[in-house]
Structure 1
Amino acid sequence: MGAFLDKPKTEKHNAHGAGNGVRYGLSSMQGWRVEMEDAHTAVVGIPRGLDDWSFFAVYDGHAGSRVANYCSSHLLEHITDNEDFRATETPGSALEPTIENVKSGIRTGFLKIDEYMRNFADLRNGMDRSGSTAVAVLLSPGHVYFINCGDSRAVLYRSGQVCFSTQDHKPSNPREKERIQNAGGSVMIQRVNGSLAVSRALGDYDYKCVDGKGPTEQLVSPEPEVYEIVRADEDEFIILACDGIWDVMSNEELCEFVKYRLELADDLEKVCNSVVDTCLHKGSRDNMSIVLVCFQNAPKVSEEAIKKDAVLDKHLESRVEEIMTNAGEEGMPDLAHVMRILAAESIPHLPPGGGLAAKRSVIEEVYNRLNPHRESDGGSGDLEDPW
């Protein structure tokens, strides 16, 4: 199907902002995929009286970007404008919704936007078969509402550890598999009818046309799971990311890597960019998107961490010089060979969660300086194992 490019597209889309006691940064990159199908939302201050609320989301599109892009612009309004979310309001007032109103309103908003998009001509006539996962957080002054539909994921880092993670909706999960089979489908090679790798998503109307079944009983369900958590002073940050990130990093690895980066720089866009680049070097072949939301208790820049990292960089630079200087009769080694040698060594203080992949840019810079006549080795990564 020609799903991958000859070399990855590494240009990034970035944004950042602050308000309501949080800062956020985001990064997205097309990578090896022939199209960019991810989208995102970042809103600090929600219209219609919820100025001290915020909303962040990542959408991982598949079979096209139509659904992901529409949701990035309109999912929030479908949530906050529906009658379930606004049930406590009386004419002329804008009361803060109750926890149950919020949870009910989120669910209703997902079902409403899914039904609304079904009427788009290109989606109705099958010209566009796209769908999208959605993972989001809605922050009120007192609560964090985690919202998940599909296999993108959000995690909360609190008191130095992963405190909460959404659960991926995969077809092989017993509860998901039961719904799929009840709708007349099957799970083969861990996919819905052997084709779709997620069991909940917005769009994907080819999987939502079983007669006699409601919208949440179809082969693919648009129903989100919603969890509310009381905010705490110990909250440090929330990460939302698509599976292009989670494919190569666990919850703990990614959180430890973000913590390490936050101790080196407080530029959240740069932190997110380093995540995306590291995941590319660790072998991710998917589009990649990450939104990082930092609370006031997030890790701060540390002079000690900066010094330690500089020592590591110096060590790697000298090792690359040694490897290339000692190449001898075999000639100048390629970058992959240099990376393999370093990977076999016991190098102290490599970035947690990122390892040697997180330092590829440092290694590459020295390599390129010492070997200016090199042939291109595929740019920022290889389709095989990076080294």
Structure 2
Amino acid sequence: MGQILSEPVVDKTTHKDKNNNLMYAVSAMQGWRLTMEDAHATVLDLDDAGSSFFGVYDGHGGASIAQYTGQNLHRKVQESSYFGQKKYHENYCGDPSGCTAVTALLTPENKIYVANAGDSRSVISVKGKAIALSEDHKPDNGPELQRIIAAGGFVKLGRVNGNLALSRAIGDFEFKQSKHLPAERQIVTCEPDITERCITGNDEFLVLACDVVDVIREEIAKRTPLDEICEIIIELCLAPESETGGVGCDNMSIMIVAILHGKTEEEWYDWMVSRASAAKKTDALGNTTSSDSEKES
């Protein structure tokens, strides 16, 4: 968990941008931690073909690794020979870069590639339902535990060698000292899991770093700007006091990426408002129903 302040730093760093395909906002707050160790990257136009890259990097034990990854990982993706060949899955697999991180590459072929290493999360809202695009890498998870033990490590109280609460991360070189093993088989590896998804007409927005689709959708239905929604979420997540520890006492970052489907910003909000309204309709028995227009949209 690390040392904490007597009072949280609640100033937020927030920005937003958009192009013809996507609209995003990101916000970060130091919170109760002594320093800000999170970093992120937002690249709307990664190449001439129209790919976009987003990443949230959760540092621990210092900010330098997360900051380096935030400045360089998307460049490594773009420079890879696989990227030019549109072999996006191979592109992620061939690059050992990581961090406690979650990244999303959206391509002009209407594909989303989410790569994660650690416990930062990504979900996509599909007609209001949160669909997970990442899975936490915890030391006591079956395959993770097997790798740790095979590499000479152990798990105690849910931590690698009784220390690190994550089984995948960049850095943490004390857990990567087995010279006879490849990177993906070390006690702690930076090898990411990769999820590929085809974008459909029902996909509404992507969230990086947390799982709060219902709250986000409610705010969108009020036509709240995405950057303001990010700040609302961070404020909701901040622990009221630091004695209990936990997620609400850590640095916090959130990124929301709206999938426009060729719509303008105003048209996208109109679309989301209509879908939210349809979802609230109920029949005489109190069962939630969806209108024909939502089923077809």
**TM-score above 0.5, yes or no:** yes
Higher CA-based Rg = 1
Q: How does 1:219-368 map to 2 (within 5 A)?
A: 219-241=187-209, 246=210, 251=211, 254-281=212-239, 284-296=248-260, 300=270
Report SS of the residue matched to 2:83: coil
Cα distance in 1, alignment partners of residues 238 and 198 from structure 2: 34
Helix, strand or coil: the match of 2:146?
helix
Cα shift at 1:2: 6.5
Structure 2 runs not aligned, ≥5 long: 242-247, 262-267, 277-297
Distance in 2 separating the partners of 1:299 and 1:4: 39
CA distance in 2, matches of 1:214, 1:203: 15
The aligned runs of 1:115-264 (5 Å cut-off) are 132-141=99-108, 142-241=110-209, 246=210, 251=211, 254-264=212-222
2:54 aligned with 1:56:
yes
**1:59 match: secondary structure:** strand
Aligned mates of 1:148, 1:197 — CA distance in 2: 16
Provide the secondary structure at the position in 2 that maps to 1:151.
Answer: coil
Q: Percent identity?
A: 35
Q: Which runs of 5+ in 1 are unaligned?
A: 89-96, 115-131, 306-387
- Runs of at least 4 residues off by over 3 Å: 297-303
* C-alpha displacement of 1:295: 1.6
* In 2: Cα distance, 1:227 partner to 1:257 partner: 24
Whose relative contact order is higher, 1 or 2, with alpha carbons under 8 Å and at least 6 apart?
A: 2
Report how far residue 202 of structure 1 moved.
1.2
- What residue is the counterpart of 1:105 in the other structure? 91
Residue by residue, what CA displacement relative to the aligned partner does 1:141-165 show, whole Å, maximum 9, x if unpaired? 2101111111101001111211333
Aligned counterparts of 1:282 and 1:21: Cα–Cα separation in 2: 38
Q: Secondary structure at the match of 1:9?
A: strand
Paired AA for residue 209 in structure 1: Q
1:84, CA displacement in angstroms?
3.1
RMSD over aligned Cα atoms: 2.0
> Where does residue 71 of structure 1 map in the other structure?
69
- In 1, distance between residues paired with 2:106 and 2:61? 31
Task: Give, as a single letter, the amino acid of the residue that structure 1 aligns with 2:71.
Answer: S
Q: Distance in 2 between the 1:231 and 1:74 partners?
A: 26
CA change 1:6–1:212 in 2 (3 A) is same
Shift of 1:207: 1.1
Q: Is the 8 A contact 2:128 2:213 kept in 1?
A: no
- Aligned in 2, Cα 1:163/1:69: closer, same or farther, shift over 3 Å? same
The one-letter code matched in structure 1 to 2:22 is V
Question: Can you list the C-alpha shifts for 1:197-221, whole angstroms capped at 9, x where unaligned?
Answer: 1111111111111131111110111
Q: CA deviation at 1:282?
A: 6.5
TM-score (norm: length of structure 2): 0.83
Aligned letter for 2:163?
Answer: S
Q: Secondary structure at the match of 2:51?
A: strand
AA in 2 matched with 1:80: Q
Question: 1:302 Cα shift?
Answer: 5.4
Counterparts in 2 of 1:35 and 1:257: CA distance versus 1, 3 Å:
same
Task: Please identify which structure carries the higher helix content.
Answer: 1
